Structure 1
Amino acid sequence: MFTHCVRDVLSGRLSQSKTPQCCMTLALQHTRRYSSSAQSEDLDPLRALLELCANRYYISPGQTTSELFQRGRSCSYGPLGMELKKNLLEQWWHSVTRSKSQVFGINTLSSRKDTATGGLRIVESEHVKQILEQQELSREQLVQKVQMLLQRSSPVRTDLLQGALEEFVPSLELVNRKLPFGLAETGLCFQPSDGSVCSAEVTQTSLVWFCSPRTSSQWLDHWTRQRLKWWRKFALSPSDFSSSDVPEEELEAAASRGVRIVYSFPWGQEPLEMLWSRGNTELLHTHKGAHSTLQCRNGRKTVPHVVSLTGNMDRGVMAFLSNSLLQLKNVDGKQKLQQRQVLKLHPVLAPVKVALDVDRGATMEMRQVCEGLLQEFMEAEISAWPGYLDTQATSVEQLTAKYDEMGVLFTAIISENTLESGLLQVRSRDTTIKETMHISELKNFVSRYISAADNV
């Protein structure tokens, strides 16, 4: 890919001033993917989502971050966005490694496939600039120098599949050479961006499932059902997640069947996860066609087939944020129509489970109570937001609106009554109901709520 990009530069199709930034640092400028004919009302949900994510600490403010985020690429996440992404990756990991006994985690580096000169590689932009500025060199000499630079540069991976194929033989003894079994991995990969020859980072998940040739189709169906069920589990609107077969003309070279799991964004469907029945061609190629090394004890000695599951967790984060954002209208006490935004993320995924705040006229004693509660939640590994540290005067309405947009499950208010009787008020994001409970019950109440939601 870089070779093609550099060739364009040397041919004069790209201006020299833009070459290093676009081609060599992977920080390309995005051409907006939505056509000018798109209706404005179709883009409003996107604008609302991006604005909320930037204002409520999910992504860092800025046009570049917003463009990467809406394209399903790794971007500059804020504290809540990073926590949501971490929660999503943890749930993915649990779902694949605990669903079958023979799924093992691996961590691989750039694969051998990427070490060829035609692979994707990272090159310092300054080095390319120095070569291009040598006016005395002919075009052929420029190409030769750039090719030498590419050969000395570090390769980067474009997917996690190759690493799992390479780990197949070392893993055989672990399973006593019996099928089926799988290798799971998560990590950053570089992938082409919307048809561009340059690439951007994507947080990828991968499960490579090795099975007998006669069962590969059934396993593809099994994993499709399992993965679709997983995506829908955390959705506020499960029907927005669906699966469909990949048309024959769009199949990858080694694949006999393919399935895509997609999410219906306001602007159209985008793939979240791709599942492929790949046969054994790539496995044989990776291990130089050594049939005897690859054969398993499976009734008959055969080279296993591969079913691969590849997910884009950056797009998954955006899908759940989009799926969870609600625009609600209500009438206040003065009969005024108000609109509020609520981010109803699933309790397991929500970055903040409880916000700790103080009533008006906060005292040092109230803040000390909040500090104690915060420490209690931290020890229980329940994420809590220290709202009591905010010294800016805020009304109750403004406070609840802020926490609703952040997706906070519960808001606990410490007051003078708490100091006297131990009772505090807890507001639910989903029901807006406020209930009173003893301070000693708060941690267990939140913990039970999350566990119950996880087991549904």
Structure 2
Amino acid sequence: MTKTAGAESERPGPDPALFDKIVNLCKRRGIVFGSAEIYGGFRSAYDYGPIGAQLLRNVKDAWWRSMVQMRSDVVGLDASILGPPQVWEASGHLKNFTDPLVDCTVCKTRHRQDQLDDPDLCPNCGSRGTFTEARAFNLMFRTQAGPVEDAGAEVYLRPETAQGMFVNFKNILETSRKRPPFGIAQVGKSFRNEITPGNFVFRTREFEQMELEFFVPPVEAPQWYEYWLAERLRWYADLGIPTHQLRLRAHDADELSHYSSGTSDVEFLFPWGWGELEGIANRGDYDLRQHAEHSGQKLEYFDQASGERYVPHVIEPAAGATRALMAFLLAAFRTEVVNDELRTVLGLHPRLAPYKVAVLPLSRKEPLPGLAGDVLAMCQPHWMCDYDETQAIGRRYRRQDEIGTPLCVTVDFESVDDRCVTVRDRDTMAQDRVPIDALVEHLTGRLDL
């Protein structure tokens, strides 16, 4: 008999206790580690372990599949992380990419003024009226390129992946034979010198973005903006996040960036409340015009059919890969009581699951490991697989449940004679006997990738 513990499988509101459960699970199962822990760690930096690295890769692959592979109007790009000051001057980051900071003169802590519940009250020590005047702090990481440290060698780590797509607009337009509406997609690292990082991997100084710049004729921008709002919300739901844990929130007029005529966030109900997963913005023609002005290059499109020449407008869906990973973990986590024992399950969509199949010989005594090795070799060309031959089979099932493996293949003593294996389902725990010769076909139908 199986029953849900508490209300963890159906959560109408935030569950503050879930945050600690996920953090503990990530450390225990090799999903996320604090960076450089043997040296005491490095604040707001994280390393993704064997399970986490594969999960993060699967999140990015699922995004790329949806945004590039399955579309004929989007191409990919992998632009440089380092960028010269001219790029960031044109984009406005050198002037505008700042946070207002205040320091408490009593406890010496630093805070973002715009994130204080009470602008006069220090949340650390409770002192009132002890903040310094707000100062602008630029969030970009600045470094030097080359052996000489002078102003001529000054470069920046990119704070977003978007600008690489704008400065390559002309190159891609000329080489890809695309025409508006078309998009340029990129997945890559970005860096922001956040003053108040926190909530595990939700806000960090080094993170990965999944961004699309979709270039459209100016008159079509409003309809494409609405299209991408629905499309991006659907992506999260299709990969297993319940719709009641997702929402679209339109920015108020005072929240909009100076270039945006409309921005909405896809938000997820985190344990601490609603938080942004992705922003979708109608950026107009601001970026291409800025780079055209500062570079002296024409960044426009000439429509030969109509004879019209115009600077495309841009719709930008920009998602955080690590935030998406965290949301998928939180949405997939559940506990159940099975035969008076607690079972922890990550009900991840098969496309996201770090391992699709686990091969488990019932015993470490030959010939089972040898046969299990043959089964593993059959599966590995098709899926990422795990292999485990230690401890009782029930404990091994629980380990695979906890890291989200959809299917376990058990090789038992009967398998030697009947050439069949047992396939166990993570979610239902149902077991089916399947001939080894038909195993790949059977698993393919079950995984629905």
Partner amino acid for 2:413? E
Structure 2 CA distance, aligned partners of 1:74 and 1:93?
25
1:165 aligns with 2:138: no
CA distance in 1, matches of 2:439, 2:177: 49
Whole-Å Cα distance in 1 between the matches of residues 252 and 299 of structure 2? 34
Alpha-carbon contact 1:74-1:203 (below 8 Å) kept: no
Partner of 2:386, secondary structure, is: strand
Q: Any idea what SS the aligned residue of 1:417 has?
A: helix
The letter for the 1-side match of 2:369 is R
Structure 1 gaps, min length 5? 1-40, 128-144
- Opposite residue 227 of structure 1, the aligned amino acid is R
Query: Would the alpha carbon gap of residues 272 and 57 (structure 1) be closer, same or farther in structure 2, given more than 3 Å must change?
Result: same
Q: Which residue of 2 aligns with 1:319?
A: 327
Structure (1 or 2) with the greater helix fraction: 1
- Unmatched segments (≥5 aa) in structure 2: 1-13, 95-137, 198-202
What does residue 399 of structure 1 align with?
396
Between the two proteins, the alignment pairs up a number of residues equal to 375
* Number of the residue aligned with 1:102: 73
Instruction: Please tell me whether residue 423 in structure 1 is matched to residue 420 in structure 2.
Output: yes
Shift, 1:423, TM fit: 2.0
State the match for 2:313 in structure 1: 305
Q: Is the 8 A contact 1:343 1:406 kept in 2?
A: yes
Paired residue type of 2:215: F
Partner of 2:282: 277
1-side partners of 2:182 and 2:251: how far apart? 25
1:341 is the counterpart of 2:369: no
2:21 counterpart letter in structure 1: A
Paired AA for residue 59 in structure 1: V
Deviation at 1:166, TM superposition (A): 0.7
What does the per-residue CA deviation read over 1:168-202, in whole Å, with 9 as the maximum and x for residues that have no partner? 11222246573211111110000243657x97111
In the alignment, does 2:208 pair up with 1:203? yes
Provide the residue aligned with 1:56 in structure 2: 29
Residues 31 and 49 in structure 2, CA contact (< 8 A), matched pair in contact too: yes
Task: Percent identity, please.
Answer: 23
Q: State the match for 2:429 in structure 1.
A: 432
Distance 1:176 1:320 in 2: 36
How do residues 146-295 of structure 1 correspond to structure 2 at under 5 angstroms? 152-174=153-175, 178-193=179-194, 195=196, 200-288=205-293, 293-295=299-301
- The structure that is strand-richer by fraction is 2
SS at match of 1:317: helix
Query: What CA distance in whole angstroms lies between the structure 2 residues aligned with 1:189 and 1:232?
Result: 26
Is the 8 Å Cα contact of residues 355 and 387 (structure 1) preserved in structure 2?
A: yes
Return closer, same or farther for 1:271/1:194 CA change in 2, 3 Å cut-off: farther
| Structure 2 residue identity aligned to 1:363 | K
Q: 2:366 maps to which residue?
A: 364
Give 3-state SS (helix, strand or coil) of 2:66's partner.
helix
Q: Which residue of 1 aligns with 2:130?
A: none
Q: Secondary structure at the match of 2:46?
A: coil
Q: Partners in 2 of 1:410 and 1:255 — Cα distance?
A: 46
Contact 2:212 2:316 in 1 (8 A): yes
Match of 1:16 in 2: none
Structure 2 counterpart SS, 1:262: strand
The alignment's TM-score, normalised by the length of structure 1, stands at: 0.75
Task: Specify the alignment match of 2:411 in structure 1.
Answer: 414
Secondary structure (helix, strand or coil) at the match of 1:253 reads: coil
**RMSD, aligned CA:** 3.0
